[in-house]
Structure 1
């Protein structure tokens, strides 16, 4: 037995490219990072479970960030909220022949789901009513695991916020090229050298890659289609599901707040929303599609990527440095609209979308 009332360390990572938009990471970092955080109204009873996978382009983030504190959502929705850590960047998504298979971070998420199946009843949760959900890379992970044979039976419905469905998993050849670029940026000839390298040096390679990357949204490491955990086409592989799917109106404004609206709309469609009709058709009639439209008055970021997350968790006050919330009126954590929609969904009801925050489709 040990004191486990504080979040564990975050995975090893560099500062997020969106740190200015959503606020900085405040947790210590460690390779020993594979933990979950459980929020429950009571350890008695048997209530629905939400397993949440954080975003961050498979490079940054932690389920222990204050942004994802599940206290308010668990109490208001009467559910158990479980937030998950998984390996990121080089340690989680850099495949190396003979050293590291692809998609280790996804395997971590699968292990967390198995932990929930075996242990969540002790926290008042029902392992037969598990919703897997996430935002951005966490939503893409959710869609990935929904079709993964090894995850069957662990998840019963899914929620996707800002899934980058326009980004296909890499082929093994593309992943090998990405690995070669990383090794070249790090200045090493053999991948075996990475196995004894300190994490600071591994992050140096990421810094070098970032310095060479073109402006815009780029992903140094991505999912790799391995015909095991990750399908070639995540939409085509998706089986019918009860699903709650959303995106934000101005997704890519997080990366370019001064860009013309026409450009924002085009890039948002290309990466996030353009393939959602195909996805919801694939998921079937029990899929609900909606767009998050709220932006702080006069704020140049508008309804940008990530801005919906604190509305779900009621955690606006956990990111006082978030530029996307600058100028917002007080009392945002008390706005329950999005949490009520999710509560209906988590309890098996058809969500009723009747709020100025959202547009139903």
Structure 2
């Protein structure tokens, strides 16, 4: 049995309205193809690399199942405290086995199932999704536990809309699949709709573009409960860069960031992290973002507009929508 390249999704703006679709939550974790062939278990990432050494507890759980041969498509997730943590997943990618074992014991991962591609000697990838889903549900009913979860699905568009609305950023969006189609390895044969949100942020600093004397990125800040301005992300500079650079340079002076600042200890730190200019708190930018991890925007945000009507103190961390909490997860399942 060989690993199968995962079927991928293309981003669309809205859920389809016609019949014949299955909707399911888009989980914010590590996509993974889980393969067992007798005594061998593998966890394969989207890039084709093995994840088994980084998630030994999941590999051991799959090894303990009664079926000796299967291929599963799913998502690795980790609950930490009162939320699901993408950062905890990233911490697993560590070179030291002793560190991985400790993290596996302290923050065990779960595997969220959403497709079954092979079971025993039967290859199921060519079957329509409706058939694969029924087989997956029987598989989970027989073998599921606290570490092996089954992703919910619906054929009702209204329910999928409710998932987007009620989770408030807890999920990464909704995945849409044709019920009558086979699994298409490596193809963008699914659709995904992501819930994008906005936040008003203080521009607490900026970086020059590499090798140029013009702004390369705006550094964004939000005020925390401690009253300090914390660095939460960045966005590309909008409009005329020469004009904006002159405007920014006229504002260069502390305070900049009075809490967490670029260059502070975090997984975002790079060799350029300390190379930034602090600004007076005069510019407020409304930006669009998709996900938050550790109180920072995970990806670059998109600039929408300046907000001269906003006071810096109104730009608070509470605007961010955080990770999925187990109570919400239980509600979905």
Q: Same fold (TM over 0.5)?
A: no
Structure with the higher fraction of residues in strand conformation: 2
Q: TM-score range by the shorter chain?
A: under 0.3
With the length of structure 2 as denominator, give the TM-score of the two structures: 0.24
**Bigger Rg, which one:** 2
Structure with the higher fraction of residues in helix conformation: 1
With the length of structure 1 as denominator, give the TM-score of the two structures: 0.22
